[in-house]
Structure 1
Amino acid sequence: MQLAFLLYKYFPFGGLQRDLVRIAQTCQQRGHRIRVYTLSWQGDVPEGFEVVTVPVRSWLNHRRYKKFTRWVEADMHRRPVDRVVGFNKMPGLDVYYAADPCFEDKSRRLRKPWYRYSPRYRHFSAYERAVFSPAAKTELLMISATQQALFKQYYATPEHRFHLLPPGISPDRRAPDNAAELRVAARQKLGAEFALPADGLLLVQIGSDFERKGLDRSIQALAALPEALRARTRLVALGSDDPAKMQGLADQLGVGAQVFMPGGRADVPDFLLAADLLLHPARHENTGTVLLEALVAGLPLLVTEACGYAHYVLDADCGRVATQPFDQSAFNRLLAEMLASDRDRARWHDNALRFADETDLYSMPERAADVILGSTA
């Protein structure tokens, strides 16, 4: 069968983008052809994928997305497909992968009432309704039970259309048998690159959109550490974002030489093995795949309750979760306590690896492919 996957933008270090590739490759391995429609594609194209870059333009995102939908519909009319799988909300989808949170809920909770009269609101509200309304036929691949409840609340979507998936952590994120040796090598390599002292503590934060991921909160917590701990500690933030604002904050707080933002990296597993703690104080996060990538690598975590996957940190007892509403002083204290206790970090490391062995955190691509291909019958 010919499958069409729709995604507005592809870049190699995005979590949604990686999910698309893994799900599409799973379908491909089962004998099906893959065509991807996108506005832009950065990076290598997986073998056997047909990538169609849709040639539409507009200064406004919602107008560009409407043009994208029309262009893709016309192209699929000329070159039919058997199934349409969307990774952004839009009309005409047979299957939707729900990585984005409920737009209607965010609009009502986080925006002023007048926002709902804007063209932008009308566009995204209509596109979400086209996917989740009771009249729609779209099968829904869910990665957050919390978001599933919100969609049902706003749209009365029938229960049978929801398919709650397990996480889909890539097996290469798991700590290998020789993880201790690899950690030593990774710390030597990264220590030279990021000026990490021999007895240093390495904090890592992973994810683009530094403001939403709460990098400013991490920088403030680093600056608030007791002097002896602060001198030993380095913070590396990986992700595709402009570092100027966050670097300015670090300089202002006197820790500019201890904060590094090298962009997106392909050697993320090295960081997960070399680091002493993963920070993810996100303001809002539908799931937070990076939390589980750290967990299966045995890396203790300090995260906010706003992350959909924060409950796994509690389930595994592999770190600490800062409660909502966020309190910077409380977060600062948690970081200082976690860095001060080698014993606790060792316990969290062991707990994480045990949980990773006992829990299905990996089969999302296979389960998603089951729904996509099963619904073609």
Structure 2
Amino acid sequence: MQLAFLLYKYFPFGGLQRDFVRIAQECQQRGHSIRVYTLSWEGEVPEGFELVKVPVRSLLNHRRYAKFTRWVQADMRRRPVDRVVGFNKMPGLDVYYAADPCYEDKSRHLRKAMYRYSPRYRHFSAYERAVFDPQGKTELLMISATQQELFKHYYATPAQRFHLLPPGISPDRRAPANAEHLRRLARERLGQEFDLPADGLLLVQIGSDFYRKGLDRSIQALAALPEALRVRTRLVALGADNPARMQALADQHGVGKQVFMPGGRKDVPDFLLASDLLLHPARHENTGTVLLEALVAGLPLLVTEVCGYAHHVLDADCGLVAPEPFDQAGFNRQLAMMLGDDAARARWQANALRYAGEQDLYSMPQKAADVIVGAAV
């Protein structure tokens, strides 16, 4: 079949974007042709993908997205496809991959009432309803049970259209048999790059949009460590974002030389092996794929309860979960306790590796492809 995949923006370090590539490549391996419509693309194009950059512009995102939809639908009328798979909400989809949370719920709980009279709200609300309308036919690939219930609540979408997927962690993220040897090599290299003392503690935070991921919370927790721990600790935040605001915060708290923001990196597996702890104090997070990537690498975690995948940290007993509502002082205490207890971190590491071998954390692309190629149109 000829499959069309639609997403507004591709860059190589986004969680949605990585999921898209793995699902599309799984479909490709099954013999189907892949056409991708997008507004922008950064990085290499996977072999065999037909990339269509949609030439529409507008100063306002919602207007540009409306133009994108019209242009793509016109192109597909000229060059028909068998399935239309969306990674952003929009009309005309056969299958939608629900990486984004429920817009209607966010609008009602995180915005003022007047927001729902704006053109932006009308656009995104209509696009979400087009996907989840109870009379619609779009099959829904869900990665969060919590979000699934929210969509049912607001739209009364029939249950049979929802397909709750297992996580889709790439197997190459799992700690290999020689993980300890690779950890020593990676730690030596990264230690030199980030001025890590011989007895140092390396914290890693991974994800673009530093504020939403809670990097400011991590910086404050680092600054609040007891001096004996603080001087040994370095925090590296990987992701595509402007570092100026967070660097200023680190300088203000006296840890500017201990916080590093080198941008997106291709050596994330090295960080997962070399670090002592993954921090992910996100303010809101549909799932948090990086949590499971750290888990299967054997890296203990300190995360917030809002993360959709935070329950895996509890199920595996491989770290701590900061409860909601978020309390900075409590988070600071959790970090100090975890860094000060070598035996606990060793236990959490062993628990994580055992859980990674027992649970299905890997088959999301295969299950998603099953739905895509079998979807009724």
1-side partners of 2:218 and 2:330: how far apart? 12
| Pairing 1:185–2:185 present | yes
Contact 1:83 1:376 in 2 (8 A): no
> What is the Cα deviation at residue 376 of structure 1?
4.8
Could you tell me which residue of structure 2 aligns to residue 72 of structure 1? Answer: 72
Could you tell me which residue of structure 1 aligns to residue 41 of structure 2? Answer: 41
Could you tell me which residue of structure 2 aligns to residue 352 of structure 1? Answer: 352
Residues 1-377 of structure 1: pairs in structure 2 closer than 5 A: 1-376=1-376
- Unpaired segments ≥5 residues, structure 2: none
Secondary structure class of the residue paired with 1:234? strand
RMSD, matched Cα: 0.5
2-side partners of 1:86 and 1:41: how far apart? 16
1:168-211 CA distance string (max 9 Å, x none): 00111100000000000000000000000011000000000000
The residue type equivalent to 1:104 in the other structure is: E
Contact 1:86 1:95 in 2 (8 A): yes
The residue type equivalent to 1:370 in the other structure is: D
The residue type equivalent to 2:130 in the other structure is: A
1:228-276 CA distance string (max 9 Å, x none): 0000000000000000000000000000000000000000000000000
1:274-318 CA distance string (max 9 Å, x none): 000000000000000000000000000000001000000000000
1-side partners of 2:110 and 2:178: how far apart? 47
Contact 1:12 1:42 in 2 (8 A): yes
> What is the Cα deviation at residue 374 of structure 1?
1.0
> What is the Cα deviation at residue 106 of structure 1?
0.2
The residue type equivalent to 1:181 in the other structure is: H
2-side partners of 1:172 and 1:12: how far apart? 17
The residue type equivalent to 1:6 in the other structure is: L
2-side partners of 1:329 and 1:283: how far apart? 16
1-side partners of 2:133 and 2:192: how far apart? 54
The residue type equivalent to 1:242 in the other structure is: N
Q: How many residues align?
A: 377
1-side partners of 2:109 and 2:11: how far apart? 30
1:345-374 CA distance string (max 9 Å, x none): 000000000000000000000000000001
The residue type equivalent to 1:55 in the other structure is: P
The residue type equivalent to 1:31 in the other structure is: G
2-side partners of 1:204 and 1:376: how far apart? 43
> What is the Cα deviation at residue 135 of structure 1?
1.1
The residue type equivalent to 2:316 in the other structure is: A
Contact 1:82 1:376 in 2 (8 A): no
The residue type equivalent to 1:352 in the other structure is: A
The residue type equivalent to 2:317 in the other structure is: D
> What is the Cα deviation at residue 375 of structure 1?
1.2
Secondary structure class of the residue paired with 2:242? coil
**Ranges of 4+ aligned residues in structure 1 off by more than 3 Å:** none
Contact 1:45 1:51 in 2 (8 A): yes
Secondary structure class of the residue paired with 1:46? coil
Contact 1:209 1:239 in 2 (8 A): yes
1-side partners of 2:258 and 2:114: how far apart? 43
TM-score, normalised with respect to structure 1:
1.00
The percent identity for this pair of structures is 83
